[in-house]
Each structure stands twice: as C-alpha cells, then as structure tokens.
Amino acid sequence: MASKTEGYNIYKIFKYFSRKFKIKDKALPTDVKEAFSNYAGSPEARMRPDQLRRFMAEHQGETEITLSDAEGIVRQVLSRRKNDVVQDHTTGLILEDFFYLLFLDDLNGPCNSQVHHDMTAPLSHYFIYTGHNSYLTGNQLSSDCSEVPIIKALQGGVRVIELDLWPSSKDDINVLHGRTLTTPVPLINCLKCIKEHAFVTSPYPVIITFEDHLTPSLQAKVAEMVTRTLGDLLYYPESECLTEFPSPESLKNRIIISTKPPKEFLELKDKGNVLANERESSGEETSGKDTVDGGLGVEFDADDRSESDQDDEDNNACGDNKSCQPAPPPEYKRLITIHAGKPKGGLREALRVASDKVRRLSLNEQALERAAASYPTDLVSFTQRNVLRVYPKGTRFNSSNYKPIIGWMHGAQMVAFNMQGYGKSLWLMHGMFRANGGCGYVKKPDFLMQNGPRNEVFDPKKTRPVKMTLKVKVYMGDGWHLDFSRTHFDTYSPPDFYTKVYIVGVPADCSKKKTEIISDDWAPVWNEEFTFPLTVPELALLRIEVREYDKSEKDDFGGQTCLPVSDIKQGIRAVPLHNRKGEKYKSVKLLMGFQFQ
C-alpha cells in the first residue's frame, strides 16, 4: 500500500512499517536551460513569440514556423498552464512555460505530422500499411470473425484489408479463415464497414485483397455486392491488364480490389464435388501446397498460380467435353486492379519482370527469407514495378508476426501483419507507418527504385560506408504516476526505471544501448547520449522501450515506441510512449534530443 503526503511518497511494509521517499523536484535538463537562455536572453527573461520562432527554426529545424504560428503556440501554452483562455501573448514564456511546451507531444512531437512524400508515383513505389486476415479478432484457429478488427485497423491507418471469401450454406458469401473453427462474418458486413471507415484516418486508397474460394456464380454475386455497396468509391481500370499501377494521389478516396483473376470453371452436377475442387486449390493460408523448387526448395501456395496456369489445367480437364462452361461474368474480373498470381516455374521465374504488365506476387515469410538469401537483387528488381506481398507462415496460430525489415530491405510493398497479434514486430510496423504523416503510404527510398550508374541493383547484404550519424539523448521521463497505480511496479517503493534504445535496419546498422537505472523515482532523469552511425538511414527505425528494474523477477514493462529515423525531427522533443498493444498512454512521455550529423 502506498500513499502520498506533501513532498513524500510513503509505502507501507507488512502493515506496521512505513518507508518515506522524498519526491524530487523536476530537474530541468541543462540543454533546456541553455536553449531558453540563448533565445530569450537569460534564464529570468521571458521568451517572446519572435524569439520562440527563432528557436523553433534554428534549434528544432522547423523553418516553416511563422510569427503568427509562434504567437498561437504561446497562447496555447499559457492557457493550458493557467486553465484559462489567454488573449495576450505578448508577455511570452518563462522558463517553466518553455519546459512545459517541450513536453507537449502535440506541439513538439518527434515526427513530421504532415504528408510530405511525393504521392504521384505508381503504387509499387510505396511501402503500404498491410493487414493479414483482417477480420480475425484473435488467434488463427478458433477466434471470431468480425468487422470490428477491420474498423480498428482502418482507424489505425491500415490501407490493405484482407478478406477470405468462402461459400455459405445459404448460397451466400462468408468471410472466415477456411478449414478452422473461426466463426464467419457475412461479406456484406465487411464491405459496409470498409465503406464507412476507409478514409477516417487517411484519404489515400484502401486496397481489399480477396482470397477467393468461390464458384463462378458466387463470384458474380461478389461483383454485384461490391459495386452496389461501394458505389463511386470503387475504382477499377478500363484495361484488363495494367502496364503500370496508378498513384496514391490519383486514387485518393477510392477503394481498389486485388485478387487472382477467376479461372474458367468446369461445371459439375455434383455441387459437393465443385466445392471440393475449389477447396483443393485453396488460398494462401491453407495446407494445400504446390512445391516449386527453383533451386531453393521453396514452397509456393497452390492458390498463387497465375490465370494462365489455371486455364491450361482447365483446358486439359475439359478437352472436348461440351459441359465446359464459359468464363464467369466479366464484371468480377473487370473489378480487379491489382492482379495476383505467379507464372509457371521456380522462384527465379516468379520474380521475372514482364515489360507489358504488372502484377502482385505473394510469398510467405519463410519463402521470402530463402529468396532473400539466394536472389536478393532479383527481389528488388521485381518490386521496382510489381507488388510483392509477404504474409506470416501458417504455424503462427497465435497471430504472432515476423521481422518486417527483411521485406522492406528488398522493396516488398505489402508486408502483411496480424494487427491483433501484439509484440515487438508489430511495434516496428507501427513505427514504419508513423512516417509521412501516418497516411499509410511511405515512399520507398530511391535506391530501391533506381539502378546505380553501372545498372547495379541495391543489395541489402552489401557493406556500405556510414552515411549519417544519429545522436540520441534521453533526458528524462514523466507521467507514470498519472497512468499507473502507485504500487504497479513495486509494492514497497517507487519504480526504478531505465531506457533501452535500439536501431533496427539493415544488418550493419542494428545496435542497442541502455541508460543507467534510476532508483525510486517516478520522474527519472538520465541525461545520457548515444551515437548511432547509419549506413542506410532511410530504412532505419529507432525503437525505444522503458523498463522497471526488478531484482527478483523479470523487469516490468514501462512503455515503448518506435520512430522512423527518416521522419524524426531534430532538437528537443516530447516522445509519447505506448502500451504493449500499441495504444498511446495518456501521460507517459520521454523528453529526448535528436541530432543528425
């Protein structure tokens, strides 16, 4: 049990004894005092709006700040501190006001909050925030299917929603994870929620990937349902096969479909046989596999076969049999903007770039790792014009995730994640898509899209010289006493916090550092600086995690965040922390400094 009296934290021990811990005054970091004095004139002066504008432009690197903006910031800071509307901004900020401002992440956050990448390039030029089995509420085997996780994903900025389509017993279409105990949700429910929530967070296009296990008649029903429900939001190209994908800018507030083009279907009288045949060529997450060696022993899913493969098989099956029916109604095929599938042959053939069309190829995480080991530059070349989707291996029953950086290093646009599967890998995914204003599309670095002077392709394995050095200073943290109970970390004393700082990126850049442990303090002050030399800063992520030291048990979790190095702002910044699920705490923040050299 813990209580608080003036100036002290008091913790009860065995009901009879008490321990008193003096509450330390918040020590302003020396760098904060110096910055204030440099721009205000002295520690006792007031910082006028014009002086604040200079500080923001010169020290913080925000050159676009105007005098009017600075005046508005002064008003906001004074009104929040005084809990009143302040009309007069001319009095400026005292040192404590200035310190308060630096701890406001909405006014002084670590990343650029605006869309600032070129959004007019083809879709293949972007990393896209991608979900996997977006309808699942929990594990891959027995959880409920629902529109709720789809809504949550869209609200979090996800731009690619995956739906597995299966026939229902009532000649309708359900969404569920096939051959499992997951309970279905009607497709129409998913489409309606996508329409309603697609653009609440970002105006850039939402891509729906269908894993299709339907007969032609049900495919026609899907086409009618999609066009009727999505209406003018739905985009599909005039030509059947694109030679280049459209841009995110041109597809603002539009929804597009990605799936395999439907194959010709042999109509059988026995509907059970029809459904059985459909399931035998099941989707990316089922157990049916076509093993294609390509020198790697890489397994590709049977349903990844291209339309040409499927047509060949159907023609062989039909022969001269007059019971063969024509292709499904053209409406379904015409709705597909991003065609999925792979050509015949092994991995090398699958990664071959066609000059007359673009497509999407899907690989599971294991196939990607094997491909990256043997054909890294082929992967990069493929993703310069085409879309590569990576998805979790089938044994991740608990909806865990894999390391996304492998896909990004090789240009994979759709690194598909279980958004309900919490963990460090998902923290990295959240971090990557905090870039570019959190719009769900991050422009790939030029070196992934353009060949070098000798036509060489980027090779992630190649060692490069240091391109940039990032200096990270961890000043202090605060807010735990507001978001946690007083005995959450330690029953008999205030917490003992320390901070871990990681760089995640190409192998040469990966590194980790740790501050010292600050004992018995709810607002720890570290003032420790770390230096990270980076060879490929464009792909680097800064992962930050706070832990509470425990002598006898595993250290307690105190918050985390992940930031894209390419979008970090220089200067002294407020860095909000998140819980294990990626949800932002109300009050917990770190005060950190960032310098680029």
CA distance 112 to 532: 21
Highest mean pLDDT among 82-91, 304-313, 477-486: 477-486
Which pLDDT value is given to residue 3?
Answer: 58
Which pLDDT value is given to residue 423?
Answer: 93
Which pLDDT value is given to residue 299?
Answer: 36
Among 398, 427, 443, where does a domain finish? 443
Assess contact for 563 and 542: CB atoms under 8 A. yes
Is 545 in the same domain as 481? Answer: yes
Average confidence (pLDDT) over 368-377? 94
Amino acid in position 503: I
Where is pLDDT greater, at 88 or 472? 472
User: What's the pLDDT tens digit per position in 263-311?
Assistant: 744 343 334 444 443 433 333 444 333 333 333 333 344 344 333 333 3
Scanning the structure block, which residue is given the tokens 């608990």? 398
Structure tokens at 243: 């030679």
Alpha-helix residue ranges (DSSP H) falling in 129-186: 148-155
Average confidence (pLDDT) over 385-407? 97
Is 474 in the same domain as 583? Answer: yes
- Report phi then psi at 37, rounded to 5: -60, -40
Structure tokens at 499: 């901070």
What are the angstrom distances between the C-alpha of 88 and each of 40, 44, 48, 73, 229?
Answer: 18, 20, 12, 12, 52
Residue among 481, 557, 468, 461 nearest 524 (CA): 481
Which pLDDT value is given to residue 275?
Answer: 43
CA 105 to chain centre: 20
Is 90 exceeded by the pLDDT of residue 85? Answer: no
Where is pLDDT greater, at 365 or 330? 365
Which pLDDT value is given to residue 300?
Answer: 42
Which pLDDT value is given to residue 147?
Answer: 98
Least confident of 11-25, 67-81, 308-322: 308-322
Residue 366 lies in a domain: no
Average confidence (pLDDT) over 539-551? 97
Helix (H, G, I), strand (E, B) or coil at 119: coil
CA distance 325 to 10: 81
Is 433 in the same domain as 482? Answer: no
Residue 456 lies in a domain: no
Residue among 555, 558, 531 nearest 544 (CA): 558
Residue 224 lies in a domain: yes
Which pLDDT value is given to residue 361?
Answer: 96
Is 477 in the same domain as 424? Answer: no
Where is pLDDT greater, at 580 or 296? 580
Average confidence (pLDDT) over 309-328? 40
Is 431 in the same domain as 493? Answer: no
Least confident of 56-70, 337-351, 512-526: 337-351
Is 60 exceeded by the pLDDT of residue 49? Answer: yes
Residue 488 lies in a domain: yes
Is 90 exceeded by the pLDDT of residue 527? Answer: yes
Number of folded domains in the chain?
2
Residue 317 lies in a domain: no
Backbone CA torsion sign across 527, 530, 536, 542 = negative
Which pLDDT value is given to residue 238?
Answer: 85
pLDDT confidence bin for 5, thresholds 50/70/90: low
Which residues span the domain enclosing 338?
Answer: 126-262+328-342+413-443
pLDDT confidence bin for 342, thresholds 50/70/90: confident
Is 552 in the same domain as 437? Answer: no
Average confidence (pLDDT) over 562-584? 97
Assess contact for 264 and 272: CB atoms under 8 A. no
Is 137 in the same domain as 172? Answer: yes
Is 522 in the same domain as 568? Answer: yes
Average confidence (pLDDT) over 143-147? 97
pLDDT confidence bin for 2, thresholds 50/70/90: low
Percent of the chain with pLDDT over 90: 75
Is 583 in the same domain as 435? Answer: no
Max Cα-Cα span within the chain: 94
Is 60 exceeded by the pLDDT of residue 447? Answer: yes
pLDDT confidence bin for 27, thresholds 50/70/90: confident
Which pLDDT value is given to residue 25?
Answer: 67
Where is pLDDT greater, at 471 or 306? 471
Residue 541 lies in a domain: yes
Q: Which domain CATH number covers 248?
A: 3.20.20.190
Strands 497-504 and 541-548, by their bridges, are antiparallel
Is 473 in the same domain as 579? Answer: yes
Residues with catalytic function: 132, 177
Residue 535 lies in a domain: yes
Residue 214 lies in a domain: yes
Which pLDDT value is given to residue 176?
Answer: 97
Is 513 in the same domain as 421? Answer: no
User: What's the pLDDT tens digit per position in 421-442?
Assistant: 889 999 999 999 999 999 999 9
